[in-house]
Chains A and B, each alone.
Chain A
Amino acid sequence: MNGYVRHLVGALVLLALVAAACGTGEPAPSSPTPTGGEIPTGGTLRLVALDDIDGIGTMDPQKSYYSVAFEFHRCCINRTLLSYNGKPTQEGGTQLFPDLAAAEPQVNEDATVWTFTIKQGIRYAPPLDEVEVTAQDFVRAIERVADPEASTGGYPFYYSPIEGFDDFSNGDADSISGLRVVDDYTLEVTFNRPAGEGGYLFALPASAPIPPNPNDPDARLGIAEGHTKDYGRFQVGTGPYMFQGTDELDFSVPAKEQEPVAGYVPGRSVVLVRNPSWDPDTDDLRSAYVDEIEVVIGGAEKELANKVDNDEADIAIDLGATPEQISRYTTDPALQGRYFNYQDDALAYSSMNTLVPPFDDVHVRKAVQWVVNKDALRRIAGGPETGDIAGHVFVDGVIGGVLGDYDAYPTEGGRGDLEKAKEEMAQSKYDTNGDGVCDAPECKGVLTVSEESETSQKAVQVWKDSLEQIGITLDNKALALGAMYSRCQDPKAQVGFCPTVGWGKDFPDGITFGPPLFGSEGILPGCCNYSFNGATAEQIKEWGYPAGTPVPESLDERLEACTGLVGDERNQCWADFDRYQMENVAAIVPRRFTKSSYVVSTRVVNFSFDQFAGVPALDQIALAGGGA
């Protein structure tokens, strides 16, 4: 469960890219809309990107695990049973809508059985324009998710609760027993536990239908057969666009002899053209204003920003606005209407290891929560445009905004409260004289691992200054982003403090925050529980912690209590969990609910932000004068 992987690829812009949702009630930035009311159609949307649109992936729907790839699948290539409207939270961007499904799914009382009815008459892009989407195509997709080779790098763990999924994945069953094709237009999905997140799973790109191969009807995986590693360049979808050259795919020859689409050269370029099979009357979610979408991949960050500034490109899709652009576009009235800033449902936070002294004492952890100057940390990150000061962990988008402005440790302007911090520290076993300042040797030189960028290192200095006031000093090791996460993740490394980590949602549900950050399943080789709540005594011993290290509280039961619920009850459950952990565990210091900023060319009208993917919604954007 891993927003981290999906966004790691964006390296230092990780927190500026992540996925979607929120609901703090902040008004959406105004989009430039064309005069006259009518939104123009046509033209070519010209994007630039630092990295491939699938990061380190292949645009394979079963493997893609990256925000930009999520957007290309959603907006353009692959429709799913349920989907999102390509809008920000305030406009329903985190709500699920029927897409290939004819209506909302029917869910039984305990959310273990979900029944989807499929729209009739939906056809795939050419050359499979005679092939209609049926229930078996979704079974094919989920079976491919369960194939460990085919879904490497993806997120099969989200589908593990489907009955029989793991057995099929392990080779112990011939089919996934929880998937039942009732008829061509009805799919029944049975979970082995109440699964309130069921709908979200069928809105992820991995669940996009895979068509049968008309030339080889017995091929279990349809046209994906033989394309374990490279289906991305051989996929045929149902969205409004397709890779240029999709219509020339030849499935009559063996997979090895097939030529990939010309419109996607990994690491270099993408060309999407209209899918003639797409019928707008069957699609209430996508407007698909432009005729083509081009992406030129690669180059230097500064130059990509120059291109957007100078109207040579319309959006830098995986870059967002550079700090220099943010400063210029937010102050120059002449540039108004070309700058957008949205909450992107990611959290910048700092994590304490509950196994390492002095953070094995909850009073020390609470003292840390009180003392930190979050305002200074935000200023270093770039100011209010980079996000709102956070008082809890679950971003609004995954709990329907239930917690609002709740802050377990509220301080004036987010600048910290030394008095309250000292009150907490005085109750700690590491403050022997009760003066509110840690005087134990465990507080000196706490092993800290942080990201090596200049910005992060300035943040570490703020942390040092804050913690010194309560007697804690840090022994900071600055590492590259990936190495930092690996070290924080490794319990054997016994890192005490990770001040510069982040997390984003995969879909708008608390399950993408709770279990990975607080559950035992988030401990290596899972991800990304850096505080190690849920570790067992045996594990603690195995990892080499000293005898007598207290076993931290397991939060697994509390998390499991939420996973079976649906709707408001589910959101409330996650919110209650968040309150509980903030007030009783306090191992994560939420710093900032991050925001993403984008600059667009003067050609762009009707800009929209897809809160699900956390990037601009490519199907909602139009070009002035139809791009002429």
Chain B
Amino acid sequence: MLRYLVRRTLFMILVLWIVSVLTFVIFFKLPVRDPAQQIAGKGATAEVIANVRHQLGLDQPLLEQYRRFAKGLIPLPGFWLNEQVYYNWTNRVAVWEEMRRDFPYTAVLTFGAAVLWLAIGIPLGIISAIRRGSVWDRAGMVFALIGVSAPTFWLGFLFLWVFHYGLEMFPGSGIPPQESLWGSVLQGRFFLPWLTLAITSAAFYTRMVRGNLLETMSEDYIRTARAKGLSERAVTYRHGLRAALTPVVTMFGLDVGILLGGAVITETVFNIPGIGSYAIRSIFQFNFPGTMGVTVFAAFFIVVANLVVDVLYAYLDPRVRYE
């Protein structure tokens, strides 16, 4: 297991390195416009533009530029997103300061939504499976179809329109400047974003749990369990569900990992100042340090989530062993 973990960790580092190289190459080799000129302003003289280029280190050889940024990705004090290199090219604020400020919003959004989609998706999937063909099953599948088909931004606006502007049940978009994160949670400002994010995922989970459970319930060992005289409830929940939910763990881990890197659309629709909003701003404002920081940060969560999921798998499924 230890060897496996070491190998996976090295692989993680390789993936993150590739992500950083790709981000760098996309930004610097496919430029829509010169970042130095944009920051200097269109009226700037050639000297001013050259000065900005120098300040940003853009006058150095490409490899040296990459080295400066890559150094800032080493997760050690003094290296990690160091302020000398990783500052927002537009507002000059340290990237790490901005990400540290924004990440809690994304985390609250992600975990709140995750609780909700598990609470909706798993029970619905189970009911659909054990009452196959019933009204419950059909209703569950209609929900799944709608949830999977509905674009997130559309759901977000729909919920705002119905629950905020229409029924006035929940607060609308945006966080008032003087309200803390937890104050916002208590005010219910996250409920509609949670619901928006959760509906799509819950729909997937419903279909997945239903499919897995139906498949599992036709396995030989389930027949054996029934033959041994176990009650249908015990067969379903103790033997069937455990196997059926194992793939859900994989999906859940990845979903959470992806969302921790920023729920871009939901954050935009509900104006939640999280990592997703920051990523969008960085890209549109040609803020390369911010773009690089947030991309690697998001990729980090995804690869870590992958690792955690794989390790968990070994515990959940006795057939899986890592060497």
Contacts and interface: CB of A to CB of B under 8 A. Distances in A.
A48 to B, nearest CB: 7
A451 to B, nearest CB: 13
A152 B92 CA distance: 11
Give the residue among A8, A263, A298, A526 with the most B Cβ atoms within 10 A: A298
A267 B279 CA distance: 12
A551 interface: no
A83 B133 CA distance: 75
A5 interface: yes
Given A299-B173, A525-B45, A306 B165 contact: yes
Contacts of A265: 101, 177
Nearest to B282: A267
Contacts of A300: 153, 157, 173, 268-269, 271
B74 to A, nearest CB: 23
Contacts of B175: 269, 296
A154 interface: yes
A573 interface: no
Give the residue among B40, B92, B269 with the most A Cβ atoms within 10 A: B92
Interface in A330-344: none
B48 A56 contact: no
Contacts of A306: 160, 165, 172
Interface in A466-510: 480, 482-483, 485-486, 489
A413 B55 CA distance: 52
A310 B166 CA distance: 11
Contact of A298 (B42, B46, B277): B277
A266 B91 contact: yes
Nearest to B102: A268
Give the residue among B32, B43, B49 with the most A Cβ atoms within 10 A: B43
Contact of A482 (B32, B41, B153, B173): B32
Given A298-B271, A306-B165, A525 B46 contact: yes
Interface in A299-320: 299-300, 302-303, 306-307, 310, 312
Contact of A4 (B42, B47, B93, B271): B42
A155 interface: yes
B44 interface: yes
A404 interface: no
Interface in B161-190: 165, 172-178
Interface in A65-113: 65
Interface string A519-546: 0000001111000000000000000000
B60 interface: no
A528 B44 CA distance: 11
Contact of A153 (B40, B46, B268): B40
Contacts of B38: 56, 482
Interface string A108-128: 000000000000000000000
Given A229-B87, A306-B165, A486 B32 contact: yes
Given A298-B271, A480-B32, A56 B173 contact: no
B41 A296 contact: no
B37 interface: yes
Nearest to B280: A298
Contacts of A270: 177
B37 A525 contact: yes
B279 to A, nearest CB: 12
A149 interface: yes
A2 B41 contact: yes
A282 B224 CA distance: 92
Contacts of B23: none
A199 interface: no
A3 B270 CA distance: 32
A152 B177 contact: no
Interface in B31-61: 32-34, 37-49, 51-52, 55
B42 A2 contact: yes
B39 A152 contact: yes
A453 to B, nearest CB: 15
Nearest to B268: A300
Given A4-B42, A483-B33, A230 B93 contact: yes
A527 B44 CA distance: 8
A381 B172 CA distance: 31
A61 interface: no
B281 A516 contact: no
Nearest to A296: B174
A483 B165 CA distance: 39
A307 B173 contact: yes
Contacts of A8: 42
Q: Range of interface residues on chain B?
A: 35 or more
B43 A1 contact: yes
A585 interface: no
B174 A152 contact: no
Nearest to B55: A149
A152 B48 contact: yes
B92 A516 contact: no
A203 to B, nearest CB: 18
Given A149-B51, A268-B273, A296 B44 contact: no
A127 B87 CA distance: 28
A473 to B, nearest CB: 27
A283 B232 CA distance: 83
Nearest to B271: A299
Given A153-B41, A154-B41, A299-B271, A57 B90 contact: yes
B165 A525 contact: no
B285 interface: yes
Contacts of B45: 157, 525-526
A385 interface: no
Contact of B177 (A157, A294, A312): A294
Interface in B1-45: 32-34, 37-45
B187 to A, nearest CB: 14
A271 interface: yes
Given A157-B43, A525-B45, 19 more contacts: A5-B42, A56-B91, A148-B47, A152-B40, A229-B87, A267-B273, A267-B278, A296-B176, A300-B153, A300-B268, A303-B172, A303-B269, A306-B172, A307-B172, A310-B165, A480-B32, A486-B34, A525-B37, A525-B49
11 contacts: A4-B42, A5-B43, A56-B90, A58-B91, A152-B48, A152-B55, A153-B41, A268-B177, A298-B268, A298-B281, A303-B271
Interface of B: 32-34, 37-49, 51-52, 55, 87-88, 90-93, 98, 101, 153, 157, 160, 165, 172-178, 268-271, 273, 277-278, 281, 285
Task: Report, nearest first, the 10 A-B pairs whose CB atoms are least far apart.
Answer: A299-B271, A269-B177, A527-B42, A229-B92, A2-B43, A266-B91, A56-B90, A296-B174, A486-B33, A5-B42
